[in-house]
Amino acid sequence: MKKEIGSFVVGDSTKCTGCKACELACFTVHNRKSNHLGKTVGTVTVPVTPRLFLTKFEQGCMPIQCKHCEDAPCLNACTKGAISRIDHQVIVDAEKCIGCKDCMQACPFGAIALLPYARDGRLVGQAMSSEPKVFASKCDLCEGIEGGPACVRVCPHQALRLVDPEAEREEKNIRAAEALLLTKNWR
């Protein structure tokens, strides 16, 4: 009965130092089970494949990640049906992904990268090629991972924020309404 939209994480370039703790944490929690990661670096046997991307630009830096669009171009572009909406979030099925790059081109944020795909601590190979299988790596808002988005949790400067868009909108509405009290006699 409730109308809901997808949450998303946004970075704040005024706080971000570019340390990549978010990227590493993202990789860690997503590979904990599938690639047997422990708590320390030494337990990693596969390339780091983050789902958000620290991005430098003229004025600073910040991580860029998926907005979980409500009419997601990546999802609509995926002919393989590897991208779908699950619990309001746009999720890539890495197993189904064939690395066609359509989603990357459709996404206006550059929030998707093709990265090597690993399972059980090993890169997944493919027939007739020495190159490993790749997958469209993008934020899934740590779906099914305890504690919510790891990037938000590890950021040393609180430069990442999980947005509950509707709740925040309502809060902003209240502030806007309070402003109307001050401007009501504008004439």
Partner 1 sequence: MIVAIDQNICTGCRECAEVCPAYAIVGEQGKPQTIDTDRCVMCGQCVQKCKSYVSVLTHGKDAYERVKKERNIPDSVQEPLFAAHAVCHLNEVKAALADKNRFTIVQCAPAVRVAIAEEFGAELGTLTPGKLSAALHALGFDRVYDTNFPADVTIMEEGTELVKRVTEGGVLPMFTSCCPAWVKFLEDNYPELKDHLSSAKSPQQIGGAIFKTYGAQLEGREGKDIYSVSVMPCTCKEFESERPEMKDSGFRDVDAAITTRDLAWLIKDMGIDWEALDEQEFDQPLGLYTGAGTIFGVTGGVMEAAIRTGYELVTGQPIPDLEVTAVRGTEGFRTSVIKVGDLDLKVGVVTGLKNVVPVLEAVKNGTLDLHFIEVMTCPEGCVSGGGQPKLLMDTDREEAYAARRAATFAHDRELAYRKSHENPAIKKIYEEFLEEPNSHIAHHLLHTTYCNK
Partner 2 sequence: MNYFVKGNPDLCIGCRTCMIGCVVAHEGKHIFEVDPDSYSFNPKLHMVKTANLSVPVQCKHCENPACMAVCPVGAISQKDHCIVIDTEKCMGCKSCMDACPFGAINMTVQTGKFQADGTEKKVANKCDLCYGFSGGPACVRVCPTEALTLVTEDELGDAMERKRAEAARNAYLETHPQE
Number of residues that bind partner 1 (CB under 8 A): 35
Kind and range of the H or E run holding 91 = strand 89-92
Q: Does 72 bind partner 2 (CB under 8 A)?
A: yes
Cα within 13 Å of Cα(184), Cβ side:
6
**Closest by alpha carbon to 66, among 35, 116, 103, 20?**
103
Q: Would you say 131 or 171 has its CB closer to partner 2?
A: 171
Binds 39: which of partner 2, partner 1, none (CB < 5-8 Å by kind)? partner 1
Q: Which of 42, 71, 81, 174 binds partner 1 (CB under 8 A)?
A: 42
Task: Answer yes or no whether residue 13 interacts with partner 1 by CB under 8 A.
Answer: no
With CB under 5 to 8 Å by kind, the binding choice for 83 among partner 1, partner 2, none is partner 2
Among 30, 51, 52, 53, binds partner 1 (CB under 8 A): 53
Query: 54: which residues sit within 8 A by CB, 6+ positions away?
Result: 16, 18, 20, 22, 23, 61, 62, 63, 64
CA-CA distance, 52 to 21, in Å (whole number)? Answer: 11
* Distance from C-alpha of 24 to C-alpha of 179, rounded to nearest angstrom: 42
What is the phi-psi region of residue 68: left when phi exceeds 0, alpha when psi lies from -120 to 50, beta otherwise?
Answer: left
Question: Which one of partner 2, partner 1, none is in contact with 126 (Cβ closer than 5 to 8 A by kind)?
Answer: none
Site membership for partner 2, residue 75 (CB under 8 A): yes
97 binds, among partner 1, partner 2, none (CB under 5 to 8 A by kind): none
Binding site for partner 1 (CB under 8 A): 17-21, 23-25, 28-29, 36-48, 53-54, 56, 60-61, 113, 115-116, 150, 153-154, 156
